[in-house]
Structure 1
Amino acid sequence: MTPNAIGAVVNHVADRIIGMPIIGPRVAIDGPDGAGKTHFAEALAAALQNRRRPVARISIDDFHNVRAVRYRQGRHSPLGFWEDSYNYSRFRSDVLEPFAPQGSRRFRRASYSHVTDEILDPPFETADPAAILIVDGIFLHRVELRAQWDLTVFLDVAFTETARRMALRDGTSPDPDHPSMRRYVEGQREYFRQSQPQQRATILVDNNNLHAPGILRG
């Protein structure tokens, strides 16, 4: 990814955030697995911090349900992936509510250990009163969450491309139609059908080419 290409898109999003009439907005970076959400969120956080804006960075991947809940509909179930992956109750109480207007800014970064498969209760941290919350992850336009965001970004990437990236990253199949990918691809397609994140996002970014991302809307 060339610095100029990502920089132009990130700076556009940073400008939109800074121009909002809200102190410490809550920002979601959404998109399919392998879309580049974490990289984008980190670049956005750096751009805001370079402008002397405090930032709190969270990933919803640290708010997974335990495996027994995630796989209760079957290890390969697309609906299980869509319905049971995350602990939204903890995510709201530990992150979204503290960063709401007039919120305490007293938050937790995680509720789950991927190593031990246990629910966590880490110490609370206290963010700057003006901290901008930037969260990356999938399914962030779900009905349980969508009204909580002040600005959202959706990184639009075809499954053929995300599967290729995930194969390089995780060693999974590069074919999105491979049976081993069905849980994840079909679960995300169900998300698209139910939540229409591409249509709901404040800013829609074409991130199919990491070297030349582009703003489609917003």
Structure 2
Amino acid sequence: MRYRPISPALLVSELTERITSITGRRRIAVAVDGAAGATNTTELADALVDPLRIAGHAVLRISANDFLRPASLRFERGKEDPDSRYSDWLDLGALRREVLDPLAEDGSGLVLPSLWDPVRDRATRAERVELPEGGVVLLDGEFLFGAGLAFDLSVHLWLSPGALRRRVPDAWALPAYARYEQEVDPSALSDVVIRVDDPKHPARYEP
């Protein structure tokens, strides 16, 4: 794979331009995917908010971490089970129903910004937010691709295997990331792939 070095500021600028160029959609869903704690998915999604608002888009930031299943389901096979981390932690049905379906052409535009507080392990009881036409949902998280979630722009933050081993905070989860690479190949599914072995010096994949 060939990568082009790019500054974080230029990356945000290029992604903003890419998002604002999307046409034919009443509302836009953007996903920033990468290994939790090892990639800067949250920082990148946050950095896109102001430029998009300046460009005239209403923006709603959502974290997949607020759509995890209850602890009783996530940890049914223990707190450090990589297969559960990969397939059972994220409530894909809730993300689809509460966030992505409302963005569809015939959707209501009423988006639930959060569902479950994983720290307190209870519902957040958040109220739905009406996203106007032209609005953008910026969703960050891990294992977002390959499960049938519909995004208008998919961004994957990729780490080489060595960098992933060095930087992932939960070493027990490494087999989950290996499964994701082997079974989904998120780089192949993504519209934009960014190598972030050095988060201060990212590089954008050039096909």
TM-score (norm 1): 0.84
SS of match in other structure, 1:94? helix
Counterparts of 1:60-79 in structure 2, within 5 Å, are 60-79=64-83
Alignment-derived partner of residue 99 in structure 2: 95
Find the partner of 2:198 among 186, 209, 215: 209
User: Are 2:43 and 1:29 equivalent residues in the alignment?
Assistant: no
Once the two structures are superposed, what CA deviation does each residue of 1:128-180 show, in whole Å capped at 9, x if it has no partner?
221111100001103232xx1111000112354355555xxxxx5xxxxxxx6
Which has the larger displacement, 71-80 or 153-162? 153-162
Counterparts of 1:1-218 in structure 2, within 5 Å, are 5-21=7-23, 22-33=25-36, 34-145=38-149, 148-158=150-160, 160-162=162-164, 164-165=166-167, 172=169, 181-182=171-172, 184-217=173-206
* Matching residue's letter, 2:118: H
Q: RMSD of the alignment, in Å?
A: 1.9
Q: 1:142 to 1:121 in 2, by over 3 A?
A: farther
The 2-side partners of 1:118 and 1:132 are apart by 27
TM-score (norm 2): 0.88
For residue 24 of structure 1, report the CA deviation from its aligned partner: 2.4
Report if the CA contact (8 A) 2:71-2:118 is conserved. Answer: no
**Alignment: residue pair count:** 200
Gap runs ≥5 in structure 1? 167-171, 173-179
Gap runs ≥5 in structure 2? 1-5
* Matching residue's letter, 2:31: A
SS of match in other structure, 1:75? coil
Report if the CA contact (8 A) 1:205-1:217 is conserved. Answer: no
Structure 1 runs of 4+ aligned residues shifted over 6 Å read none
Report if the CA contact (8 A) 1:73-1:79 is conserved. Answer: no
Report if the CA contact (8 A) 1:159-1:185 is conserved. Answer: no
Of all paired residues, the percent bearing the same amino acid is: 22
Once the two structures are superposed, what CA deviation does each residue of 1:71-128 show, in whole Å capped at 9, x if it has no partner?
1123321111111111111111110111122311101111111232123442222112
Pick 1 or 2: higher relative contact order, CA cutoff 8 A, min separation 6: 2
Once the two structures are superposed, what CA deviation does each residue of 1:24-59 show, in whole Å capped at 9, x if it has no partner?
221110111221000000111222122222111111
